[in-house]
């Protein structure tokens, strides 16, 4: 039904008012004339004029009606064109797909006068379409993916053209969803990329009686074409943004990789497939001495020393050409000739088609690691030698126990005028020197714990003299010049012997062609001036031990580090770098000081200062009884000793002095004999280390049987070592081998009398 605009209605009302007023005026005039003039023609003239006015109003009404129709149509067309223009600008300005799809829904509804709109898009697989944006009634409906031909959107997907339905609720192709029956007039257009339908834009009305004109449908088609272009544009821009973001990300990743390669602490080398260097990082140039320009164009073989076999190089190339990774070590040579070790990983670099284009080598300098490995192996070897020496010393102590024992028995039984008595004394003296040698071996093996006592420094040097001769070669002359008076110091003899042996070994290596080693001792006094000048120590009296060799000498820079752990100037495998650091640690532990002076081509001097005591305290002197008249007894003694010679000696000594002896050869037998004769046994002598059960385990079991049992432990190690290793407690009775019969008998008497 046509409706006038408000302006036209006002015009028609004014014209109607004027026409009625004019007609009324003409009829009034005609009435007056009829009553006065009574002129018929005039009356007809007036009536004609009145009718003419009415006719003019009718014609004016019809004109305005036609004009209004054209104006409304033009206005509507202008509205559509304006909306299309705004839509075009709006869609083109949308650069993101998500924002564009939302704008499509809003603009489509604005153009056709509805709020019920939707957009479907194909999924990535292209098998179904899914609703991605909607408005109006579609916000309250359930949405499911559709396939070709399903519903109006599937129909548009299938045909690729506009689809229009006047009443969706009665359409036979509607979706099987009762909630959608509220929809009436519907229309939709395809969204295309080229000729391919990628989506559907649709509008709907829920009011009855609404019909879309051909102009509206054409406008929807035009909008769909513009929307397709805008969607394609947005997709391209999105793709460009993604590609740009990925490129920026890749460039940033490449920059980080470049920095990582440039600043990497490992050497990185890139070669072509023939092995020609194309790139080296700064660490390579710093390590090898070759500049970047000198390295590029060269072959890595410029670093070869010839120590890597051809077979190994062949295996390397076969591995990387086949696409694998090769790992191994090289002993290479720098530009200046210095040798170094590298651990290398060499792998292929591939292009996008997976073809090998280059090789990359990542190499780490492991020279220091190799040196530490060598030092560790040397330290392990020395530790093994030490354990062997300690074991030999322990076993030798058992042998010396028998020698000393039988020699002492011979001395006791031979008459004073017997010519054999001097031989027995010589045997005992020789065995005593052997005992001192075993103590040196135990010190070398570090089997003796720290046990500082007041000792004479000169005596220590004399005791270790023979052992030092064994350490140095025959072309080295050892000269010893000692202070005539004794030099009492509070020290652990074994550790000081270790110091002398380490210094001797160090001097031997500095004298490859032989020469003298001089050891001197003297008493010195350090005054305040000396302390201030040297920067160490406390004023007072010291025993000075000077150790001099005429070897090759050392640079001042080396002397600064000579006492640092693992610092060595010797070739790989010929030194641990621990000897002088141990010397330094021992001297510091004794509250002493050590200095090193060295000159190239002249030799090296070590000066050791140890605090000097005034005299040996009386309490420190060991009192050994001279007679054994009071050691006779008639007690039963259980003797557990696995060494046959030592066992027979002790048995003979005890029986000689009226002791009854029960013998056991191992720990288990000793425990069995003790169970059998607990009441008769007055005392048990146990070797600390025995087969089957050690002495401590036997002791623990015996204490369960008789808590008052008296036990004397014996061993080739000193008591402090056995205690430190958990074999004994400090308060337990102990006698170290080798011992004389007198010492054994006195110790037995002490245990029996005191418990």
List all residues 6 or more positions away from 601 whose beta carbon is below 8 Å from its beta carbon.
552, 553
- Express the helix, strand and coil content of the chain in percent, nearest 5 each: 50, 20, 30
Q: Is the confidence at residue 187, as pLDDT, over 60? A: yes
Q: Which CATH number fits domain 94-239: 3.30.450.40, 3.20.20.60, 3.30.460.80, 3.50.50.60?
A: 3.30.450.40
pLDDT tier at 93, thresholds 50, 70, 90: low
Tell me the mean pLDDT in the region 138-161: 91
Q: Are 595 and 530 in contact (CB under 8 A)?
A: no
Residue 184: predicted pLDDT = 92
pLDDT tier at 264, thresholds 50, 70, 90: confident
pLDDT single digits (tens) 382-402: 666 666 666 666 677 777 777
φ, ψ dihedrals at 679, nearest 5°: -70, -30
Q: Is the confidence at residue 202, as pLDDT, over 60? A: yes
Query: Which residue, among 444, 432, 427, 317, has the nearest Cα to 393 in the 3D structure?
Result: 444
Q: Are 640 and 684 in contact (CB under 8 A)?
A: yes
The Cα 224–Cα 135 span in angstroms is: 17
Q: How many helices (H) and strands (E) does the chain have?
A: 20, 22
Q: Which CATH class is domain 626-754?
A: alpha beta
CATH code given to domain 374-618: 3.30.565.10
- Ranges 116-125, 166-175, 428-437, 496-505: which has the least confidence: 428-437
pLDDT tier at 577, thresholds 50, 70, 90: very low
Query: Which residue, among 355, 324, 301, has the nearest Cα to 316 in the 3D structure?
Result: 324
Q: Is the confidence at residue 95, as pLDDT, over 70? A: no
The Cα 219–Cα 81 span in angstroms is: 9
Q: Is the confidence at residue 618, as pLDDT, over 50? A: no
Give, in degrees to the nearest 5, the angle at Cα 462 between 406 and 523: 140
More reliable by pLDDT, 342 or 404 = 342
In the chain, what percentage of residues exceed pLDDT 90? 22
In the chain, what percentage of residues exceed pLDDT 70? 74
What is the residue extent of each domain of the chain? Answer: 6-86, 94-239, 264-365, 374-618, 626-754
Q: Are 542 and 524 in contact (CB under 8 A)?
A: yes
Residue 690: predicted pLDDT = 84
pLDDT single digits (tens) 442-476: 555 554 455 678 989 998 898 888 778 877 877 88
Write down the pTM of the prediction.
0.42
The DSSP letter of residue 144 is -
pLDDT tier at 721, thresholds 50, 70, 90: low
Q: Is the confidence at residue 15, as pLDDT, over 70? A: no
The Cα 359–Cα 648 span in angstroms is: 76
Q: Is the confidence at residue 53, as pLDDT, over 70? A: no
Residue 466: predicted pLDDT = 79
pLDDT single digits (tens) 107-149: 778 778 899 999 999 988 889 999 988 999 999 998 889 999 9
Q: Is the confidence at residue 203, as pLDDT, over 90? A: yes
pLDDT single digits (tens) 412-449: 777 777 777 777 777 777 776 666 666 655 555 554 45
Domains 94-239 and 626-754 share a fold: no
Report the chain's mean pLDDT, rounded to a whole number: 79
The DSSP letter of residue 337 is S
pLDDT single digits (tens) 732-743: 888 888 888 888
Beta bridge partners of 191: 199
More reliable by pLDDT, 293 or 583 = 293
Burial of 600 (0-12, 13-18, 19+ CB in 10 A): exposed
Angstrom distances, CA of residue 618 to CA of 278, 621, 622, 680, 697? 81, 6, 9, 41, 38
Tell me the mean pLDDT in the region 698-710: 90
Residue 70: predicted pLDDT = 59
Tell me the mean pLDDT in the region 261-271: 87
State both tokens at 110: 């604005």
- Count CB atoms within 10 A of the CB of residue 477: 13
Q: Which CATH class is domain 264-365?
A: alpha beta
The Cα 515–Cα 667 span in angstroms is: 53
Residue 469: predicted pLDDT = 82
Q: Are 629 and 652 in contact (CB under 8 A)?
A: no
Q: Exposure pattern of 394-412 as b/e (b: 16+ CB <10 Å)? A: bebbbbbbbbbbbbbbbbe
């Amino acid at each position: 039904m046509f409706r006038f605009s408000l302006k036209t209605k006002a015009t028609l009302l004014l014209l109607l008012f004027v026409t009625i007023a004019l007609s009324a005026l003409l009829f009034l005039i005609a009435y007056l004339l009829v009553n006065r003039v009574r002129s018929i023609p005039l009356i007809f003239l007036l009536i004609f004029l009145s009718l003419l006015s009415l006719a003019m109003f009718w014609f004016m009404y019809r004109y305005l009606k036609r004009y209004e129709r054209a104006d409304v149509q033009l206005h509507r067309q202008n509205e559509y064109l304006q909306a299309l223009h705004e839509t075009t600008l709006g869609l083109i300005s949308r650069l993101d797909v998500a924002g564009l799809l939302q704008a499509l829904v809003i603009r489509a509804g604005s153009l056709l006068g509805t709020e019920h709109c939707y957009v479907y898009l194909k999924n990535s697989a292209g098998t179904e379409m899914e609703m991605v944006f909607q408005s109006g009634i579609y916000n309250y409906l359930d949405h499911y993916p559709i396939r070709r031909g399903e519903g109006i959107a599937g129909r548009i997907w299938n045909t690729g053209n506009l689809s229009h339905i006047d009443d969706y609720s009665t359409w036979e192709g509607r979706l099987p969803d009762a909630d959608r029956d509220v929809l009436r007039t519907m229309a939709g257009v395809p969204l295309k990329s080229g000729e391919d339908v990628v989506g559907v834009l649709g509008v709907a009305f829920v009011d009855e009686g609404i019909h879309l004109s051909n102009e509206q449908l054409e406008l929807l088609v035009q909008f769909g074409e513009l929307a397709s272009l805008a969607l394609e544009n947005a997709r391209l821009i999105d793709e460009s943004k993604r590609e740009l973001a990925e490129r920026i990300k890749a460039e940033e990743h490449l920059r980080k990789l470049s920095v990582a390669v440039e600043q990497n602490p490992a050497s990185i080398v890139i070669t072509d497939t023939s092995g020609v260097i194309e790139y080296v990082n700064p660490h390579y140039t710093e390590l090898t001495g070759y500049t970047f320009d000198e390295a590029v164009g060269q072959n890595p073989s410029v670093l070869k020393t010839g120590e890597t076999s051809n077979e190994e190089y062949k295996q390397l190339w076969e591995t990387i050409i086949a696409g694998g990774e090769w790992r191994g070590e090289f002993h290479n040579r720098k530009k200046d000739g210095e040798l170094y070790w590298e651990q290398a990983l060499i792998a292929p670099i591939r292009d996008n088609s997976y073809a090998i284009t280059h090789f990359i080598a990542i190499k780490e300098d492991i020279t220091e690691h190799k040196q530490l490995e060598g030092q560790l192996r040397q330290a392990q070897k020395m530790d093994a030698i030490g354990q062997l020496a300690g074991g030999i010393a322990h076993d030798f102590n058992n042998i010396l126990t028998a020698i000393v024992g039988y020699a002492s028995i011979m001395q006791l039984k031979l008459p004073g005028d017997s010519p054999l008595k001097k031989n027995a004394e010589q045997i005992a003296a020789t065995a005593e020197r052997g005992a001192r040698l075993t103590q040196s071996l135990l010190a070398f093996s570090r089997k003796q714990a720290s046990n500082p006592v007041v000792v004479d420094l000169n005596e220590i040097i004399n005791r270790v003299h023979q052992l030092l001769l064994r350490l140095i070669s025959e072309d080295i002359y050892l000269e010893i010049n000692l202070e005539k008076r004794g030099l009492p110091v509070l020290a652990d003899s074994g550790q000081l012997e270790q110091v002398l042996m380490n210094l001797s070994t160090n001097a031997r290596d500095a004298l490859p062609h032989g020469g003298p080693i001089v050891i001197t001792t003297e008493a010195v006094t350090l005054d305040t001036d000396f302390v201030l000048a040297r920067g160490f120590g406390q004023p007072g009296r010291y025993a000075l031990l000077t150790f001099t060799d005429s070897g090759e000498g050392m640079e001042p820079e080396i002397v600064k580090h000579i006492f640092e752990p693992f610092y060595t100037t010797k070739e790989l495998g010929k030194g641990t770098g621990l000897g002088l650091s141990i010397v330094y640690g021992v001297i510091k532990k004794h509250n002493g000081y050590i200095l090193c002076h060295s000159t190239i081509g002249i030799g090296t001097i070590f000066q050791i200062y140890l605090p000097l005591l005034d005299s040996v305290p009386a309490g420190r002197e060991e009192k050994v009884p001279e007679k054994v008249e009071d050691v006779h007894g008639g007690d039963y003694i259980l003797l557990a000793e696995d060494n046959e010679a030592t066992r027979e000696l002790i048995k003979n000594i005890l029986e000689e002095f009226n002791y009854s002896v029960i013998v056991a050869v191992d720990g288990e037998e000793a425990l069995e004999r003790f169970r059998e004769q607990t009441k008769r046994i007055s005392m048990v002598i146990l070797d600390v280390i025995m087969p089957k059960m050690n002495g401590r385990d036997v002791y623990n079991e015996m204490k369960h049987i008789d808590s008052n049992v008296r036990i004397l432990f014996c061993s080739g190690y000193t008591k402090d070592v056995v205690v430190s290793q958990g074999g004994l407690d400090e308060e337990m009775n102990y006698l170290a081998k080798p011992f004389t019969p007198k010492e054994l008998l006195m110790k037995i008497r002490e245990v029996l009398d005191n418990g």
